[in-house]
Each structure stands twice: as C-alpha cells, then as structure tokens.
C-alpha cells in the first residue's frame, strides 16, 4: 500500500458536525491481491471518511470498527460487496470493448466520484473527466440492467465505441490513481 501509516497522532480526532447524520458502512476492496476496508458514508452527499486529507485503510473489519468506535461513529452491519480494483487494473492494461465489466466499472466510477468529492484537492482531474463523460456514465448505468430500472423481458446490451473505451480508460486510470494516492494504512 502506498503511503505511510496515519501519522503518530491518536486515531480519535475532531470530526465535522454532520458526521453523526451520516450512515456509515464498511467498504471492502481489493488492490494488488490484498483485501482491505474503508469507511463509506451516505447522506445528502456520499463520501469516504477521511483523516487529514487521506483515506484510512484497514486490514481487518475489527480494525475498522475500533477506529470508528474511537470517533463515536456507528458503522452499519451491512457491508458492501467487493470493489475489485485488480479487475480494473487488469482491464486498463489491455482495454478491450468486449472486456468491459459493467458492474465493476459502475461501482468503481461511483466510488471514485465519492473520493473526488471527499478530497477535492486530489480529485480535481477526476471531477473534470466525470463532467465530460456524463453520457458514457449513463450508458454504463443502463447497461447494468438493474432490476428496478429495467422492464421485465428487456435487456440493454451496449456496444462500446473507440472514443468510449478511451473515455473509460482515462477516467478509470485517473480514479484508481487518485484512490491509491489517497489511501493510508490505519491498521
């Protein structure tokens, strides 16, 4: 994991007043064949619990829960499915239209957006790309054929153009780089 351990400061620190109105969840992710956790929240705006401009990353769920407890933050028992950034990294090494992983890419795009909004100092380039690729996001969203959004018996199967693959490549590369630069080992 890139970066150092979260400074020598105690984990308990002042948090913004709205943190208690947020609903916090464990977010499970894989990067370089290592599974770890971070704290994702939802409210009027989704984001990632951060500490001094970095994202605490935990080796175990118990370490995450101990950290949250030190902040008096309740983490919901429900955990996310795996965000597999190894799959994103593999695709970026050879970005082919027939290998677009709809579910993985949509999850990654959404998480990268949450990171960029949480840490705007490192998220500027991602936010810029995101704002330019709204129609690509929409196509990816509809291609996931979410049951609540897809009429029974219908299925959208997209074809990806070269320009769309270039858009995915730029956005996912920037998003993954931004996330990895922001993560810090918190135990």
For the chain (length 187 residues), average pLDDT per consecutive 10?
36 47 94 97 90 95 96 88 97 96 95 96 96 95 81 85 97 98 95
Rounded (to 5) percent helix, strand, coil in the chain: 45, 20, 35
What is residue 19's predicted lDDT score, i.e. its pLDDT?
55
* CA geometry: angle 177, 2, 19, nearest 5 deg: 75
Let me know if 153 is exposed, middle or buried by CB neighbors in 10 A (0-12, 13-18, 19+).
Answer: exposed
d(CA 22, CA 42): 6
Per DSSP, which regions of the chain are E strands? 23-31, 34-42, 47-48, 55-57, 75-79, 83-84, 183-185
SS3 call for 146 = coil
- β-strand 34-42 against 23-31: which pairing, if any? antiparallel
Quick check: 112 and 48 in contact, CB under 8 A?
no
The total of other beta-carbon atoms located within 10 Å of residue 84's CB is 19
* CA distances, 44 to each of 22, 36, 92, 180 (Å): 8, 26, 32, 25
The domain locations on the chain are 17-185
SS3 call for 29 = strand
């Amino acid at each position: 994991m890139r970066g150092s351990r979260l400074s020598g400061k105690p984990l308990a620190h002042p948090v913004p007043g709205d943190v208690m109105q947020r609903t916090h969840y464990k977010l499970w992710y894989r990067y370089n064949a290592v599974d770890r956790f971070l704290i994702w929240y939802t409210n009027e705006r989704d984001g990632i619990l951060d500490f001094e401009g970095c994202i605490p990353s935990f080796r175990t769920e118990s370490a995450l829960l101990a950290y949250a407890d030190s902040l008096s933050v309740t983490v919901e028992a429900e955990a996310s499915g795996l965000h597999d950034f190894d799959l994103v990294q593999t695709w970026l090494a050879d970005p082919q239209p027939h290998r677009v992983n709809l579910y993985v890419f949509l999850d990654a795009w959404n998480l990268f957006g949450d990171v960029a909004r949480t840490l705007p100092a490192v998220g500027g380039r991602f936010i810029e790309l995101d704002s330019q690729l709204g129609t690509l996001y929409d196509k990816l969203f509809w291609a996931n054929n979410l049951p609540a959004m897809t009429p029974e018996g219908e299925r959208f199967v997209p074809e990806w153009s070269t320009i769309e693959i270039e858009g995915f490549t730029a956005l996912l590369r920037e998003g993954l780089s931004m996330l990895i630069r922001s993560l810090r080992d918190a135990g």
